[in-house]
């Protein structure tokens, strides 16, 4: 008999495929926003529209030895979660009360955007060294799920 994945596993696998479009040299991240079992938007991390990608010009963070989870502003890329939210806004798609599936735990910058977008649940695969985002999600009442059961930092 064929093993059918649950919805969380299904949408996380799609986010993993979306991440393959990433142009980041350090982390390939993908995000999918879902509501009522339907994909509303997706995004991956990469340079802003009409700008050179890190694949082409190198990584500012690597060149300056910036530790993962710090100095988020010193990155050329727009994060996958941000791109998914932006794409929904560009096309007039409401993501109110949706779930965001992401290959990585969102950083604090993305957490604030997710909270203000009224996304109610975030499901991710890999932990990220940003404890502040977890605290923000908790305070805002956004459910945070790490699958497979790897505890967040």
Query: Can you give the CATH number for the domain in which 54 is found?
Result: 3.40.140.10
- Among 13, 81, 139, 143, the active-site one is 81
Whether the model pTM is above 0.95: no
Helices (H), 20-104: 54-57, 60-63, 80-90
| 52-82 residue pLDDT tens | 888 888 888 888 877 777 777 778 789 999 9
- pLDDT tops 60 at residue 149: no
Whole-angstrom CA distances from 80 to 4, 24, 100, 107, 135 are: 27, 11, 11, 11, 20
Q: With both helix axes pointing from N to C terminus, report the angle between 131-140 and 108-116 in degrees, rounded to the nearest 10.
A: 20
Q: How many distinct structural domains can be found in the chain?
A: 1
Say if 128 falls within a structural domain: yes
Say if 31 falls within a structural domain: yes
Question: Looking at residue 77, what is its pLDDT?
Answer: 86
Say if 2 falls within a structural domain: no
Say if 132 falls within a structural domain: yes
Report the distance separating Cα 27 and Cα 18, nearest Å. Answer: 13
Percent of all residues in the chain with a pLDDT value above 90, rounded to a whole number? 67
> Is 3 part of the annotated catalytic residue set?
no
């Amino acid at each position: 008999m064929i093993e059918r994945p649950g919805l969380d596993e299904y949408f996380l696998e799609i986010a993993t495929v979306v991440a393959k479009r990433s142009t980041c040299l350090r982390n390939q991240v993908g995000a999918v926003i879902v509501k009522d079992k339907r994909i509303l938007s997706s995004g991956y991390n990469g340079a802003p529209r009409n700008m050179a990608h890190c694949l082409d010009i190198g990584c500012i963070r690597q060149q300056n030895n910036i530790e993962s989870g710090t100095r988020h502003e010193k990155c050329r890329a727009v994060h996958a979660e941000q791109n998914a939210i932006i794409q929904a806004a560009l096309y007039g798609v409401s993501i109110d009360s949706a779930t965001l599936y992401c290959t990585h735990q969102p950083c604090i910058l993305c957490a604030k955007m997710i909270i203000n977008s009224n996304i109610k649940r975030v499901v991710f695969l890999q932990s990220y060294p940003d404890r502040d985002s977890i605290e923000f999600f908790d305070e805002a009442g956004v459910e945070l799920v790490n699958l497979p059961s790897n505890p967040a930092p």
